[in-house]
Every structure is written in structure tokens, then in C-alpha cells.
Structure 1
Amino acid sequence: MQTSPPDAKLSRIVNNTTTRPRVAVTRKLPDAVEARMSDLFDVSLRLDDTRMSQDELKAAIADCDVFVPTVTDNINADVIAAASSRLSLIANFGAGTDHIDVAAAHKCSLVVTNTPGVLTEDTADLAMAMILSIPRRLVEGDRRMRNGEFDGWGPTHMLGHRVRGKRLGILGMGRIGSAVARRAHAFGLSVHYHNRARVPATMERALDANWHETLEGMLAEIDILSINAPLTPSTRHLIDARTLALMKPDSYLVNTSRGEIVDEAALAEALAHGRLAGAGLDVYEDTPRPHPALLDLDNVILAPHIGSATHESRREMGEKVLINIRAHIDNHACPDRVLPPGTRLSLAS
């Protein structure tokens, strides 16, 4: 891709009074979002709700001013290199950007944005639903009912664990982790957390939250682990055979963040041999397929990546994309710009 200064790219869009910006979308979006995009821009929509191949991504990014991918797209350096000099913005439909080579985009003077904040509450709701349902074996009970395996109540039938009074460990106390903590506190769980930095004392007091300087120290004390950290080189396989061995045999794991944070083979091994009581997963290491060994386990809830799958969240994600695009083409700072780690913008950027 031939690079040019960001201001030059913007001027080509802003000064073009006869043609609307060309926007390429990689996945089927909610009807209302697509309709609004069509009103504002010259948009190329993905009518077939399937993932684009790498060749299709390259073809799409080569013919647009603004590129709108999703978490299912691998926007690596090769895809970015296929972009024409017209491209100036990658407006991601989603909060996570680990599927985008942000450093390569920045090197090519491309602005990258995401949609933070709007999926926080919905993802926290799903995490809390799993925290409540796994210890009580709710999904397992549903399966047994449908299979005709319930013969009536018994004193020892399908015993689970009480949630109130248990210790919840939160890995990653960002927006979603904090939202999970608020819910857990309301349900009477004791909140523990491990984060790169300690949260403000006012938040700790409000949630009666206990900070652990090391992940290992927290894992040994908790009853339930909720993973809410971003995927980075340092968090990939952070939960593996070694760290799982630190957890108590009657403890539970919930992951609504990124599948690659958990070594699923090690998790399946621990669950199958009683070294962990149960797990709830909404994301997978080899997405969209869970590790085959997990499929035969009754003590696992497997959700199809529905953490943010509400009508409200998807609509608000679309609105965020539109706001970032409009800000960019109007030569304003994008409110949700994403930069490579350690990068700072100059006042002129």
C-alpha cells in the first residue's frame, strides 16, 4: 500500500463534493444500521452473513475509503497492504481489535477505531448468568429433563453449590470486569480481582473488592474465576495447566472475553479428571469450534459467542461505527481511536 500523510487522505474525502465516501462492510449488520449507512455513504454491504476469505477481504479493502470489519476478520499486514491509497479509516464493528494489526495500520497512516462501552452490560449479564447457572447445574438439568432422565425429587439429586458467600475472582477489572463485580456484589459474592493496576480505592470500597498483586495468589483463594481480560501476548494461554492446578477442585471458570486466554486442552483435562468442578465458555481458542474434549462433558456450558448479542448492543455498536466515520470524514478526531501500545498522538494528529 502506498502511504500518504493522514491529512492528505482526509482532504481527498472532505473535498470530494460529488461522491460520497465508499464504505466496505465485511459482515451482515442489523437492518437499521445498514439502512443508515446506505443513507449516508456509498456502501458495499455483505448480504451473505458468512466470513470473508482473506482474498475477499483484500478485494474489499482495495476498493473503499472506509473499511468496516468485525471480530471474525483477520485484518493482518497482508490485508492492509492490499488497500488502495484511498483508504484512511478502519472502523471496526466491535470492541476488541486483536484481530487487526493495528501497528501495521498505523505505519500506513490509517486510523483504526472500535466500539467500546456499548457491550459492557450485556456481556456482564451473560457472565453473571453463567456464574449463577454452572454451580447449580442448570443447563445439565435442562438436558436431563429433555432426555427423560428425571424420575422425581431426591435428597441427593443433582446437588450443586450455593453462590452466595462464595469468592469470585475477576481477571481483568476493566469496564466488563467492573460490571461483573457490581452484579456479583449484589448477589452476595465476595469480590476478588487481579489487574495490571489497582482500581481506585473508592471502587474497591463500593464493591468490597480485594486486590491480588499476583494471579497465582488469587487463583488459590477463589471459588469462581471470571475472565474479562483483553487478549495480548502476555494473556495468551495465561490460564493453562499450571494455573488451573492452583484452583480448588470444587471451583468454576467462566470465560466471556477471548478464547485464546485459556488453554482449552488443559481445561478439558482438568474438568474430566475432577480437578475443576465446571466451566462456562462463550469464546473459544479455535473459534468457532470448542475443543472436542469439551463436547462430551456435562459440567460445561458452551455458548455460541453471544456475550453482546442483544438488539440494543448491536444497534449501539452500529451507531458508534457511524459516529467514528462521520467524525473522520469531517476531519475531526475519532472518539474511539485505537493506537498501537506505547504510541502517543501529537497535537497535530
Structure 2
Amino acid sequence: MKRIFLLAFLTLSTLLVNADTLTLKSGHPDSYIVKKGDTLWDISAFFLDDPWHWPKLWGANPQIANPHLIYPGDRLTLVFIDGEPRLVLKQHIKKGPEGRISDKGGPIPAIDLALIQPYLVQNRIVDPEWVEGLPMILAGESPSRHHVVNDVVYINANLPVGEKLAIYQEGREFLDRETSDILGQEIILTASGRVTQSGEISKVELLSSLRESKAGFRVAPVEDEALMSAYFMPKAAPETVPANVIAIEKDIREVGKLDIVYLDKGEQDNIETGHVFAIYRDGEQIVINGDGLPVPTLDRNAYENLKAKISDDDVYTMPDIYHGKLMVFKVFEKTSMAIIVANEHPVRVDDKLITPKSTDLRGE
């Protein structure tokens, strides 16, 4: 039975906070033969009520020292080691007509990037001063103001022939919502290129184009840190790291599943690729009016709005509302980027992010 990453996120349970033992799913199989298209996340869902604990199901097993190296055709058997459930690898090899072992293809991933690659973006968040020091496009061989793939552009720097470059458009500057400190400068990848001629003004041929590039766009070497992992290993974000959505990649008011958002936490906060957050919206404040009736936010008058700000009497804050989940796929020093993997309500800027809880189950 084939499953894919997104379906898994929509159908599986979430983290049971502080649970140390694995809970097996009712009616779980005793064994499973790995199929092409499976991921470790998917397979764990056949056995566990709580697939967030899949690393424990696999990692403590000496027969699966590297759980990424599980291949289609392998048989996994459920056993108990010291009272804890574990998956044991038993190879299930098919032979071809001439008795040779048939090729099983590559090992299965934790989460298959190819399934969500079309929805991810290669934008970055960097130090604004670093951006100001980058060389830029001055013009191009074409008289057009807009440059696309196969065009040659001129860069105001002496660059080595053959060097691969990324072309970036400057985007928004992000600030800490409490301190107003600068978190970083958004730069939007527009194209890639290769230096074809060096000099005081270097020539760069555009090899790919995500959008049109123009004079003034910045140029930076392609670095490994700007690239994403080939797969993701989902895990619950740390309890001690509450975060917030500080921007939406599309720069629109509301987004949903498969859209990209920016978070106000990064490497310095121990955020890692694969961290999953539950998304919540602050509960509405209800004011009791002079007639003793509850008044929702949209129906309040000026006096009731003032009362909500300065008085605790007759003002009630409703419980926070669960909106969905997101997974971090790129981490910077003070910020990170994440993809929304499930949502019950639209996600907005300032929505708060916390460790997933066992109550975050509806609609998934």
C-alpha cells in the first residue's frame, strides 16, 4: 500500500508530550514488506499510535544501524526488546528468471523531498550588511531590462571563470515582534548562472530562471548551506522554543496547506530541519456589555474596545484555537522557513507555534 508524505501528515496522530513508551496501534501487523514509495514515517504509522516516536522504534535496533538504508522488498518484523517494541530487518529478496537478485532500487528516505519539492522555495534570510556587500547586476547584453535563462548579464566584480552563482532580489526586512531587533533580510532567488568571462566587469550566463532578473539584483556564490537536504526527519519542536509566524512567503494575508511561512526562531534557538510545530491563534476576547451580554470582537463599540484593553472585569479570553501544523525545512541564524503540512483554519502572520500535543488531532 503506497503512501506519501503529505497523506501521512493528514492521517497520523501527533506527539504525546513526555511519553517515554511506544504505544502500538490496535490491529497492527506482525511484519511488513517495504514497498517502493514508502518512507520511514509511513511504515511506523502501521505499527504506532504515535508515529512521532518512530526514531525510537528504529534507532535502538542494532539490526537497523542506519534506518535510512531500508530497501523495497525488505521484510520488517515486530519484536520486543527489553519490553519495548522494535522493528527487526529480515531481507525479502526476489530473484529474476535466471536466479539473479533483482535490483530493489535505492534506500527509502525518512521523508521524500521529491514529493514536496515543487512547493518549496530557495529564498534565504541573511544579514542586511552582507547583502549590501554583494556584487550586483549592472546590465545585460540584451537591451531588455529583464533577463532570463541563456541571457548574459554584467556583474561589477572580478569573478573566476566557471564559478556558479545565485541571483537574488532583495525582499523584506524582518524584525523581532517584541524588541524590534533586526532578524534578517529576505533575499529571493531569481536565477542561477555561471561566470563566462572575468574582468573588472564579469560576464555571467544565466543557466536557470525562476523569475526575471534585473539590474540591481545581487549575486552570491552557490553555497552548500543554501541547499536543502534530500530528505527530512520530522520530530517535535522543543517545548522550550515557542515561536511565531513573522511573514508569509507569498506576502498575502492568509495561507494554507503547502504554503511557505517564515518563523522568528533559528539556529541560535536550536531550531533544526524537520522540527514540527503546532499552529495556534490567540483566543478571542469577549466583553460583557452593560446589559450583561457577551459581545464578540467584531461587534464591540469604542467603549467596549477600551474596556477590553484596560480592564480585567467582564473581559474573558477564549481558549487558543488550533489551526494546523508546519515543518521547518530551512534554518538560518535567527529565523527559519517552514511548509504548512496540515491546517484546519487559514494561517496568518503572528500565529503562535508550540510543540505538538496529543490534542492536536482533529482533521488529520
Asked which structure has the greater CA Rg, the reply is 2
- Which structure dedicates a bigger proportion of its chain to helix? 1
Question: TM-score over 0.5 for the alignment?
Answer: no
Superposition TM-score, scaled by structure 1 size:
0.27
Superposition TM-score, scaled by structure 2 size:
0.26
- Which structure dedicates a bigger proportion of its chain to strand? 2
